[in-house]
């Protein structure tokens, strides 16, 4: 007896979300072919129709030919492949689980930091409501203070008196091109 499945195991809605927009036509063609195959399989009966061997014995003139066909038909078994890969896949999955958990834990740290940063941004007053005094109180290291630290136009560090460029390591001399 053939094994019947109640419904397809493919979650088409979830798969549709993962398909890139440029591949949608190919996805729809694949889905249509899959569903037509599914309908054809479900349209056929789960077991092949019974053969009336007695009616064939009456009409076939060669004796024992129908008996040979009957024994061959009943003795035929569809070869089903043996599952040799599931154990290997399970073993590989078990070996990868610690790496996956370590990766997820590492990514969770980034998610937690991003959540904290987002909470800090969301805690700020709206741009329209923020005044210079609020900004001075929140960010004293970057505020503009014309009394204690005057700056001159264009108010960038490189254009201010006494500016010293940050120390950079000396670049290695370039080799002369070979002739």
> Are 70 and 53 within 8 A, CB to CB?
yes
10 pLDDT more than 90:
no
> What confidence category does residue 1 fall into, taking pLDDT thresholds of 50, 70 and 90?
very low
- Show Cβ contacts of residue 17 under 8 Å, excluding neighbours closer than 6 positions: none
Q: Which sequence spans correspond to the domains of the chain?
A: 7-44, 50-79, 87-159
**Taking the chain, what is the end-to-end CA distance rounded to the nearest angstrom?**
81
User: DSSP string covering the chain, please?
Assistant: -----SS-S--HHHHHHHS-GGGHHHHHHHHHHHHHHHHHHHHS-SSPPPP-HHHHHHH--STTHHHHHHHHHHH--PPPPP--SHHHHHHHHHHHHHHHHHHHHHHHHHHHHHHHHHHHHHHSPPTTT--HHHHHHH-TTT---TTTS---TT--GGGSTT--PPP-PPPPPPPPPP-
Question: pLDDT for 68-116, tens place per residue?
Answer: 999 998 888 888 888 889 999 999 999 999 999 999 999 999 999 999 9
- CA atoms of 51 and 86, how far apart (whole Å): 38
**pLDDT (mean) for 148-161:** 84
> What confidence category does residue 147 fall into, taking pLDDT thresholds of 50, 70 and 90?
confident
Residue whose token pair is 């670049």: 171
pLDDT number for residue 93: 93
């Amino acid at each position: 007896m053939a094994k019947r499945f109640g419904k397809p195991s493919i979650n088409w809605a979830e798969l549709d979300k993962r398909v890139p927009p440029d591949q949608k036509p190919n996805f729809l063609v694949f889905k249509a072919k899959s569903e037509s195959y599914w309908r054809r399989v479900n349209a056929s009966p789960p077991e092949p129709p019974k053969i009336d061997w007695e009616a064939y014995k009456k009409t076939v003139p060669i004796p024992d030919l129908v008996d040979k066909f009957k024994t061959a038909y009943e003795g035929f078994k569809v070869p089903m492949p043996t599952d040799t890969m599931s154990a290997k896949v399970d073993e590989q999955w078990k070996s990868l689980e610690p790496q996956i958990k370590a990766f997820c834990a590492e990514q969770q740290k980034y998610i937690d930091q991003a959540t904290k940063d987002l909470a800090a941004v969301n805690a700020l007053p709206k741009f329209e409501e923020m005044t210079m005094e609020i900004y001075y109180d929140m960010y004293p290291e970057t505020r503009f203070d014309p009394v204690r630290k005057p700056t001159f136009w264009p108010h960038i560090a490189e254009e201010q008196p006494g500016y010293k460029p940050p120390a950079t390591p000396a670049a290695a001399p370039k080799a002369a091109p070979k002739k």
